[in-house]
Structure 1
Amino acid sequence: MEECKLLVIWHSRTGGSRALAEAAAGSAAGARLVAADDVTPELLQAAGGYLFVAPENLAALSGAMKEMFDRCYYPCLGKLEGRPYATIICAGSDGENAQRQLDRIATGWRLKRVADPVIVNTSAQTPEAILAPKAIPADRLTEARDLGTALAEGLAAGIF
């Protein structure tokens, strides 16, 4: 399997997390953008670091992102220690619980957080707004792009 520096793993139902992941990977040299459904233990093991981008659904990490961790957790246990990671959570109001859940999984793998968590609040509170396609503000896309660039540069320079 070809090694990549930064693996950007995403899941999205309404486009918000996907837009953030694409922004992060688009400017990050050596980044590989992969949907959570397509991630394998081999992809995780071939990467130098990770950016996990997911929505919060019903106060938890999205099911598809959780399924990726469930599927890959034990095959990767003991093989990823010390690798850097960062996160972007796209939420309707809070995002903290999904963030905590993801951090607990990363702690089990002994990953090292190298950037503050990013939570993008879309303020979607009605069923119609929650299910509607999301438009992420330009400043938040720039924040995602900057995070992806910083992770990729840190990996390339051997900082992480």
Structure 2
Amino acid sequence: MKKELLIVAHAPSDNTAALSRAAFDAANNYAPDDLMVRLLSPFDVQAKDVIKADGVIIGTTENIGYMAGATKDMFDRCYNNWIDICAGKSVGVYIRAGLDGTATTHALNSILTGLRWRMMAPPLVLHGTWNPAFIDDVAELSLGMAAGMDAGIF
């Protein structure tokens, strides 16, 4: 039975779109016969999308020292539907932060702790001016998630 990895990525720019595409491609190319990978905007996520996924990667920008409004909107709409039903869900996070990502990391950690989701690694914070190496960093995070899911670790 195929496992499903859902990538929820806010991608308001060409650079953040490259990050979400790298996450999708890395996971999708890892085990295409064993893993179904979906990529959605936070605006398009419905509670059922996360409920049926075996693992989730959340990609967000940091805006004015906080997670993107699109990401916050997703949690506002779906959080109560996910409590208890999604406890133990494996999750990875990447944050494209012009600043240091501290407030966004703290907010996401609080939300994910409340949901009792399992972080597969500390949040990946891509801070400062754009660096093309960010694409490889996100691909590596996604590949790790795919490999962990395929091996039954996540």
Q: Same fold (TM over 0.5)?
A: yes
For residue 150 of structure 1, what is the aligned residue in structure 2? 144
Q: Distance in 1 between matches of 2:20 and 2:60?
A: 9
Identity %: 31
Aligned amino acid, residue 101 of structure 1: A
Contact 1:8 1:33 survives alignment (8 Å) = yes
> What pairs up with 1:21-40 in 2 under 5 angstroms?
21-29=20-28, 30-40=36-46
Contact 1:4 1:46 survives alignment (8 Å) = no
Cα gap change, 1:101 to 1:15, in 2 (>3 Å)? farther
Contact 2:58 2:93 survives alignment (8 Å) = yes
Answer yes or no: is 1:57 the counterpart of 2:63.
Answer: yes
Q: Distance in 1 between matches of 2:113 and 2:39?
A: 22
Q: How many residues are aligned here?
A: 146
> What pairs up with 1:3-152 in 2 under 5 angstroms?
5-29=4-28, 30-123=36-129, 136-152=130-146
Q: Distance in 2 between matches of 1:67 and 1:143?
A: 26
SS at match of 1:5: strand
Task: Give RMSD over aligned pairs.
Answer: 1.5
SS at match of 1:79: coil
- How far the C-alpha of 1:4 sits from its partner, in A, is 5.0
Contact 2:3 2:149 survives alignment (8 Å) = no
Q: Structure 1, unaligned stretches of length 5 or more? A: 124-135
Cα gap change, 1:74 to 1:38, in 2 (>3 Å)? same
Q: CA deviation digits over 1:115-140, x for unaligned, max 9? A: 121111233xxxxxxxxxxxx53322
- How far the C-alpha of 1:59 sits from its partner, in A, is 0.6
Contact 1:55 1:91 survives alignment (8 Å) = yes
Cα gap change, 1:143 to 1:101, in 2 (>3 Å)? same
Contact 2:100 2:128 survives alignment (8 Å) = no
